């Protein structure tokens, strides 16, 4: 008579003793295989006395189920411990430096330019463009700066060799005339940004620099709209809490004209070396478009008014990023660029 | 323009504190750029009288002083003292503006109790050679700072060109300050000059040169010093005290704005001639320089030739000196345009020239002589009655007609015509309010006010710019933006994503260096600042390579820079501006690390450009070997997209690199953004593939010299629509591949858009391919 309980005990010991998948498989073949003792015993049931057959069959099936589930448990346990072992083997010193990747980045002037243009886009202005080699007519005369006008002194001009009547534009304002001539008499909101040139070279002046300029023309535009636009622009660039001051000034192409100051970003308005103790720093020039300029642009000054404003991109970048020498912007020194 | 608080107070009466005055002036458009406190910190100095002078050594004098408390003795090196002089005396314990505290000192064995003070030591003027002699009415014992009204504020005002026309004078600034404070500036006298009998003949060649040429004669009546009050105002404006008659002339210029020129009468020969300079004429000016004159310059000449460049500077020949006791004082108008041009050409920015160049009121010369006549006795001179005038005072311009509604619209301020008129009147304008608006007459000094918009600005200044509200303008219809702007942003963005930093270089460059890198200047500057900024760039390469050199010189490695900007060419008579994109690599790609460091090579740059172009949706990119002399003969390519040339890439020729100071291998590329714009594919998604691809690897043996691109084009041609993708994953030269041959390992993804490919389809396609490659290139499978 087969001792079912002994068989079960011995098989369970074998299963428990298996240390890897292979041994476990070995045990499965040995105990549960077609030639194993359980299969043998099941085949031999027909030789047992009829009244024991049923009992024996049930007992053998219980053992087989028990062994199968023990085997499943053991398989899971073995798998778990082998993953753990692999992970342990593969541990790294996570404090070692990562694989270095060179990352790119923008130029501070580009950042300042994008901030200005984005702010004006949001205020409904659209980009316009013009050449850097510009006619004297558009750079000066059309903008109400005739020859011998004192304002021409403020624009020390580069002239183009062998191309009489052409200069390197001293400001982005000629784009105003170009945009007006293209779109007059439709209402206009344009912004332009680009390089300008002056015969000047020191810590605060560079012979090549960038300006951004906005222009609005239409019926019924007044100083209040200029002020609203400038407030929007200054808040976008210097934050919602920036203090803004307009004071009367002079530009040949606007009348009335106003210089725009913001509360000094370095001392918060208490007075410091940068703001010369005034608590304010000058950031842009603006005004109502001069009737002469409107006429040059093809608008009727009796019907249309407009406002314009211009800002030095370098100046904004210097204020926003604390760069104190304008020449640094043109040196492509990676020690500076990698900070942006 | 500099102006003292003391002077403004003398013109207007009591004023607010200097900080407030500075703020008000700035809000009026007269930007106070600096505020200086003169004589601040002078403590304990008193007025004393010189009682006795005794020589101690050749250089030192012992001075006995009468003070309020008795006597004091001090030693001085000054030589301008006489007994009876009232002087500023700083006894021991007194403090000076420079921070010094005085003590008893011993000089050559003589004890000195404190010191006597110069104008410089007090802080009111530049003179430090002599002791400041106070007027005889200064009471002995009075505090010097108190008696002189110290500290006195000096405002340094940055004048815009419009204000420079009427605010280069104490009265002009006072008028601007009077309006916001509600004060009145008393009117100034003027006079018409009755002709004098003995006057020399004055000829003005053309009224354009000088529409009004006037003058008076003055004679000296006493030998006196310029009074201290006048010298202090000259000093506060940054001028020196020269001699009484010159000081008077300068003082009146500073007060009313009219430059005048005193000629020593005995030095003028015959009549006075106002004319243009003759060609080749030269003049020795007062500053000792010999000036070559231009026929556009105006000169004042006598029988012997030019004695002054009109409105700019006089000559030594007619200069007033100590012996002069009779003077012809010229007070005239000269062409602003001509004086400005002369001033700029000669670099002679004299006080006079700067005023003439901005233009003066038509009647100002006559107001100035009236003031000179009034003040002359104070400096020991007397003006003879009458004078001379050639030309005349231009009549006042017609009133400016302004619609009140225009002012309201322009300023965004709801001001009635009456309110506008009141604002203008506070600035000295006279205004008639009529049915259809305002008729405005500007003060004569306001030659900058010509049109309705100028009047609107005056209204704005008078009511205050702060009263304008901030309102967003109504929107306008959209217009098309230039596409290049967005492309520039995305092109830089693509390179930034690949690890490049954005560079910004001068667009003015050295034409010699442009020539050296094989892209000579086409647009040059007629009046360049210097040789290295004398041409507009024809390429971005130069600026980028100079940036590489600068970074290497500073020990910065792993250089990856890109730049977008314009380059300038000439086409016929026109200047052509092209938007370009440059990029450069030098040194290892990544910083030193345990993962190793490879120096960049041609294929880094090529790969970057391919990636960037793909990001910019430029397809059908093809690169062909190039022949640019600035690049490595065997490592350069021209870049095309669908047959359109975009630009070039390559390794810089070692000779060129060396000339630019770069000793490492450096890669550079440049493409035209306009050409990219023309090659951009629209952003439309393609449908995803519906059938799986079959993958086949083939290793081909071909001639080593055969360019890969030819093989690739053949592969594409044979497989046509079946070729979904391809990759070259190995290039091998050496055994067992025969010498002169190379092995190319390609992986091909084959896919049909219509059905799942069978193995047999792939076999057939590959067989065709191998047959063609065999025929064309003698290629065979490895």
In three-state secondary structure terms, B231 is: helix
Write down the pLDDT at residue A150.
67
Q: Phi and psi at residue A203, in whole multiples of 5°?
A: -60, -35
Write down the pLDDT at residue A8.
87
Residue A96 lies in a domain: no
Contact at CB, A291 and B524, closer than 8 angstroms: no
Chain A CB contacts of B558 under 8 Å are 102
Nearest residue in chain A measured CA to CA from B461: A248
Contact at CB, A224 and B412, closer than 8 angstroms: yes
**Confidence label for B406 from pLDDT (cuts 50, 70 and 90):** very high
A74 with A118, same domain? Answer: no
Nearest residue in chain B measured CA to CA from A100: B590
Contact at CB, B451 and A255, closer than 8 angstroms: yes
Q: Is residue B341 exposed (0-12), middle (13-18) or buried (19+ Cβ within 10 Å)? A: middle
Mind listing the pLDDT tens digit for each residue in B194-238?
888 766 789 999 999 999 999 999 999 999 989 999 999 999 999
Mind listing the pLDDT tens digit for each residue in B680-712?
888 888 889 999 999 999 999 999 999 999 999
**Confidence label for B597 from pLDDT (cuts 50, 70 and 90):** confident
Tokens for B207?
């009224």
Interchain CB contact of A134 with B (< 8 Å): no
Chain B CB contacts of A100 under 8 Å are 590-591, 593, 595
Whether the predicted pLDDT of B280 surpasses 60: yes
A127 with A49, same domain? Answer: no
Q: Is B412 left (phi over 0), alpha (psi -120 to 50) or beta?
A: left
CA B494 to chain centre: 36
Q: Phi and psi at residue B749, in whole multiples of 5°?
A: -105, 115
Whether the predicted pLDDT of A1 surpasses 80: no
Most B-contacting residue of A93, A97, A98, A102 (CB-CB within 10 A), to test interface: A102
d(CA A317, CA A324): 10
In three-state secondary structure terms, B559 is: strand
Residue A249 lies in a domain: yes
List B residues 417-456 in contact with A (Cβ-Cβ < 8 A). 451-454, 456
How open is the CA angle A11-A12-A18, to the nearest 5 degrees? 90
User: CB-based contacts of B90: which residues, under 8 Å, 6+ apart?
Assistant: B44, B45, B96, B102, B114, B115, B116, B117
d(CA B347, CA B727): 70
Whether the predicted pLDDT of A122 surpasses 60: yes
In three-state secondary structure terms, A322 is: coil
A144 with A279, same domain? Answer: yes
| Torsion sign, CA atoms B42, B11, B462, A296 | negative
d(CA A286, CA B567): 30
Residue A102 lies in a domain: no
**Confidence label for B108 from pLDDT (cuts 50, 70 and 90):** confident
Write down the pLDDT at residue B573.
82
Interchain CB contact of B536 with A (< 8 Å): yes
Chain A CB contacts of B573 under 8 Å are 163
d(CA B5, CA B237): 11
Write down the pLDDT at residue A174.
97
A249 with A311, same domain? Answer: yes
Write down the pLDDT at residue B370.
95
**Confidence label for A56 from pLDDT (cuts 50, 70 and 90):** confident
Q: Phi and psi at residue A304, in whole multiples of 5°?
A: -105, 140
Whether the predicted pLDDT of A2 surpasses 70: no
**Confidence label for B188 from pLDDT (cuts 50, 70 and 90):** confident
Write down the pLDDT at residue A59.
86
| Torsion sign, CA atoms B598, B604, B607, B611 | positive
**Confidence label for A153 from pLDDT (cuts 50, 70 and 90):** low
Do B76 and B44 contact (CB within 8 A), yes or no?
A: no
Contact at CB, B160 and A220, closer than 8 angstroms: no
Residue A318 lies in a domain: yes
Residue A276 lies in a domain: yes
Chain A CB contacts of B563 under 8 Å are 332
Tokens for A245?
């001051």
A132 with A244, same domain? Answer: yes
pTM here?
0.84
Residue with more model confidence, B116 or A47: B116
Whether the predicted pLDDT of B29 surpasses 60: yes
| Torsion sign, CA atoms B526, B528, B530, B535 | negative
d(CA B499, CA A170): 34
DSSP-assigned states of every residue in A144-158 = T--TT-GGGGGS---
Of A28, A56, A89, the last residue of a domain is A89
**Confidence label for A154 from pLDDT (cuts 50, 70 and 90):** low
Per DSSP, what are the bridge partners of residue B579?
B566
Cβ contacts from A onto B, under 8 A: 261
Mind listing the pLDDT tens digit for each residue in A3-31?
788 888 888 998 988 888 889 999 899 88
- Helix, strand, coil share (%) of chain A residues, nearest 5: 45, 20, 35
Mean pLDDT of B653-667: 95
The verdict on whether omega for the bond into residue B134 sits within 30 degrees of 0, i.e. cis, is no
Write down the pLDDT at residue B356.
95
Mean pLDDT of B428-441: 92
Pick from B9, B504, B176: nearest CA to A314: B504
A137 with A270, same domain? Answer: yes
Give the mean pLDDT of chain B: 93
Do B298 and B256 contact (CB within 8 A), yes or no?
A: no
List B residues 22-51 in contact with A (Cβ-Cβ < 8 A). 26-29, 31, 33-35
Contact at CB, A104 and B501, closer than 8 angstroms: yes
User: CB-based contacts of A113: which residues, under 8 Å, 6+ apart?
Assistant: A193, A210, A212, A313
Domain range for A83: 2-89
Pick from A304, A289, A219: nearest CA to A257: A289
A40 with A83, same domain? Answer: yes
Write down the pLDDT at residue A101.
86
List B residues 568-627 in contact with A (Cβ-Cβ < 8 A). 568, 573, 575, 577, 589-591, 593-595
Tokens for A248?
């009367």
Interchain CB contact of A330 with B (< 8 Å): yes
- Percent of residues, chain B, with pLDDT higher than 90: 80
Most B-contacting residue of A334, A339, A340 (CB-CB within 10 A), to test interface: A334
d(CA A189, CA B13): 48
Write down the pLDDT at residue B756.
93
Chain B CB contacts of A318 under 8 Å are none
Do B133 and B139 contact (CB within 8 A), yes or no?
A: no
Give the mean pLDDT of chain A: 91
Of A60, A89, A118, the last residue of a domain is A89
A56 with A202, same domain? Answer: no
Largest distance between two CA atoms of chain A: 133
d(CA B368, CA B260): 8
Mean pLDDT of B145-150: 91
A65 with A124, same domain? Answer: no
Residue A101 lies in a domain: no
Residue A103 lies in a domain: no
A223 with A307, same domain? Answer: yes
> Count of domains in chain A?
2
CATH code for the domain of A248: 3.30.930.10
Query: Which of A166, A249, A305 has the CB atom closest to B409's CB atom?
Result: A305
Tokens for B542?
């130069």
A20 with A149, same domain? Answer: no
Chain B CB contacts of A221 under 8 Å are 473
CA A313 to chain centre: 19
Pick from B240, B202, B4: nearest CA to B126: B240
In three-state secondary structure terms, A180 is: helix
Contact at CB, A247 and B31, closer than 8 angstroms: yes
In the block, residue with structure tokens 């107070």: B9
Of A43, A61, A89, the last residue of a domain is A89
Write down the pLDDT at residue B190.
85
Most B-contacting residue of A96, A98, A99, A100 (CB-CB within 10 A), to test interface: A100
Interchain CB contact of B543 with A (< 8 Å): yes
Residue A97 lies in a domain: no
> Among the residues of B347-442, which ranges form H helices?
351-358, 364-375, 404-411, 417-426
User: How do strand B282-284 and strand B115-116 relate by DSSP bridges?
Assistant: unpaired
Largest distance between two CA atoms of chain B: 130
Mean pLDDT of B52-61: 90
A327 with A182, same domain? Answer: yes
């Amino acid at each position: 008579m087969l001792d079912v309980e002994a068989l079960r005990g011995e098989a369970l010991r074998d299963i428990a003793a298996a240390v890897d998948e292979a041994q476990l498989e070995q045990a499965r073949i040995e105990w549960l295989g077609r030639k194993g003792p359980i299969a043998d015993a099941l085949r031999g049931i027909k030789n047992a006395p009829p009244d024991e057959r049923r009992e024996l069959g049930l007992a053998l099936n219980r053992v087989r189920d028990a062994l199968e589930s023990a085997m499943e448990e053991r398989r899971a346990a073995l798998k778990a411990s082998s993953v753990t072992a692999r992970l342990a083997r593969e541990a790294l010193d996570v404090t070692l430096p990562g694989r270095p990747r060179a990352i790119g980045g923008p130029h501070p002037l580009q950042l300042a330019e994008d901030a200005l243009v984005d702010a004006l886009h949001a205020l409904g202005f659209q980009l316009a463009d013009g050449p850097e080699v510009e006619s004297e007519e558009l750079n000066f005369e059309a903008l109400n700066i005739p020859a011998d006008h004192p304002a021409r002194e403020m624009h020390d001009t580069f002239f183009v060799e062998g191309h009489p009547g052409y200069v390197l534009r001293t400001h982005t304002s000629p784009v105003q005339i170009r945009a007006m001539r293209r779109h007059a008499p439709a209402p206009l909101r344009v912004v332009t940004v680009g390089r300008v040139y002056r015969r000047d070279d020191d810590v605060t002046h560079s012979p090549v620099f960038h300006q951004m300029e906005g222009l609005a023309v239409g019926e019924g535009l007044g100083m209040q709209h200029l002020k609203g636009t400038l407030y929007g622009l200054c808040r976008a660039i210097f934050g919602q809490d920036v203090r803004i001051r307009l004071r009367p000034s002079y530009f040949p192409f606007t009348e009335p004209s106003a210089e725009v100051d913001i509360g000094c970003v370095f001392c918060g308005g208490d007075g410091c070396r940068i703001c010369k103790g005034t608590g304010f720093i000058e950031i842009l020039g603006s005004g109502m478009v001069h009737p002469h300029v409107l006429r040059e642009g093809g608008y009727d000054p009796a019907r249309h008014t407009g406002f314009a404003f211009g800002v030095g991109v370098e100046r904004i970048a210097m204020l926003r990023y604390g760069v104190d020498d304008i020449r640094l912007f043109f040196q492509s020194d990676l020690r500076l660029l990698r900070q942006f | 323009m500099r102006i003292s608080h003391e002077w403004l107070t003398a013109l207007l009466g009591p004023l607010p504190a200097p900080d407030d005055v500075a703020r008000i002036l700035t809000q009026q458009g007269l930007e106070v750029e600096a505020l200086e406190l003169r004589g601040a910190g002078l403590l304990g100095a008193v007025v004393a009288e010189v009682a006795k002078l005794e020589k101690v050594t050749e250089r030192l004098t012992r001075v006995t002083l009468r003070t309020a408390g008795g006597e004091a003795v001090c030693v001085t090196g000054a030589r301008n003292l006489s007994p009876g002089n009232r002087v500023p005396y700083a006894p021991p314990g007194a403090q000076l503006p420079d921070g010094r505290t005085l003590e008893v000192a011993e000089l050559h064995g003589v004890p000195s109790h404190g010191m006597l003070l110069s104008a410089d030591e007090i802080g009111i003027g530049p003179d430090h050679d002599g002791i400041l002699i106070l007027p005889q009415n200064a009471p002995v014992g009075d505090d010097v700072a108190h008696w002189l009204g110290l500290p006195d504020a000096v405002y340094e005002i940055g004048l815009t060109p419009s204000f420079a026309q009427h605010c280069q004078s104490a009265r002009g600034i006072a008028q601007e300050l009077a309006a916001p404070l509600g004060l009145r500036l008393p009117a100034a006298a003027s006079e018409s000059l009755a002709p004098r009998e003995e006057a020399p003949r004055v000829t003005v060649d053309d009224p354009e040169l000088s529409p009004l040429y006037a003058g008076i004669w003055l004679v000296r009546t006493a030998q006196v010093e310029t009074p201290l009050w006048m010298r202090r105002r000259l000093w506060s404006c940054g001028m020196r005290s020269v001699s009484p008659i010159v000081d008077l002339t300068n003082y009146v210029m500073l007060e009313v704005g009219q430059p005048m020129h005193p000629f020593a009468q005995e030095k003028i020969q015959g009549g006075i001639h106002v004319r243009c300079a003759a060609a080749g004429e030269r003049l020795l000016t007062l500053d000792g320089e010999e000036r070559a004159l231009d026929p556009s310059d105006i000169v004042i000449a006598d029988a012997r030739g030019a004695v002054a460049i009109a409105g700019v500077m006089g000559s030594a020949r007619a200069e007033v000196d100590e012996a002069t006791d009779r003077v012809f004082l010229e007070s005239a108008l000269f062409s602003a345009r001509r004086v400005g041009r002369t001033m700029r050409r000669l670099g002679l920015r004299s006080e006079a020239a700067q005023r003439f160049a901005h233009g003066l009121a038509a009647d100002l010369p006559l107001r100035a002589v009236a003031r000179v006549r009034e003040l002359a006795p104070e400096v020991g001179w007397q003006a003879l009655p009458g004078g001379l005038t050639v030309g005349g005072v231009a009549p006042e311009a017609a009133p400016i007609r302004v619609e009140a509604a225009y002012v309201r619209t322009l300023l965004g301020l709801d001001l009635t015509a009456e309110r506008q008129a009141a604002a203008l009147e506070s600035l000295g304008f006279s205004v008639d309010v009529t049915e259809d608006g305002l008729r405005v007459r500007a003060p004569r000094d306001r030659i900058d006010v010509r049109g309705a918009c100028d009047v609107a600005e005056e209204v704005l200044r008078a009511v205050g710019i702060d009263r304008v509200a901030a309102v967003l303008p109504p929107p306008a219809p959209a217009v098309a933006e230039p596409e290049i702007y967005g492309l520039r942003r995305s092109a830089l963005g693509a390179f930034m994503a690949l690890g490049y930093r954005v560079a910004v270089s001068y667009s003015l460059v050295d034409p010699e260096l442009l020539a050296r890198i094989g892209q000579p200047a086409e647009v040059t500057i007629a009046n360049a600042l210097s040789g290295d900024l004398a041409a507009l760039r024809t390429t971005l390469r130069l600026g980028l390579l100079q940036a590489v050199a600068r970074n290497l010189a500073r020990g910065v490695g792993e250089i990856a820079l890109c730049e977008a900007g314009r380059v300038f060419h000439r086409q016929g008579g026109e200047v052509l501006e092209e938007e370009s994109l440059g990029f450069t690599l030098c040194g290892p790609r990544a910083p030193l690390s345990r993962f190793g460091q490879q120096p960049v090579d041609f294929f880094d740059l090529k790969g970057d450009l391919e990636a960037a172009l793909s990001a910019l949706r430029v397809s059908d990119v093809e690169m062909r070997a190039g022949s640019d002399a600035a690049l490595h003969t065997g490592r350069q390519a021209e870049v095309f997209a669908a047959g359109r040339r975009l630009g070039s890439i390559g390794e810089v020729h070692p000779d060129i690199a060396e000339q630019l100071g770069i000793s490492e291998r450096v890669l550079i590329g440049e493409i035209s953004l306009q050409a990219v714009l023309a090659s951009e594919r629209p952003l439309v998604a393609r449908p995803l593939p519906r059938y799986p691809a079959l993958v086949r690897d083939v290793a081909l043996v071909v001639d080593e010299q055969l360019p890969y691109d030819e093989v690739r084009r053949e592969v594409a041609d044979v497989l046509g629509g079946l070729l979904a993708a391809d990759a070259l994953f190995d290039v091998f030269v050496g055994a067992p591949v025969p010498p002169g041959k190379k092995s190319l390992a390609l992986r091909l993804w084959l896919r049909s858009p219509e059905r799942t490919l069978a193995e047999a389809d792939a076999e057939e396609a590959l067989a065709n391919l191998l047959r063609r490659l065999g025929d064309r290139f003698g290629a065979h499978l490895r």
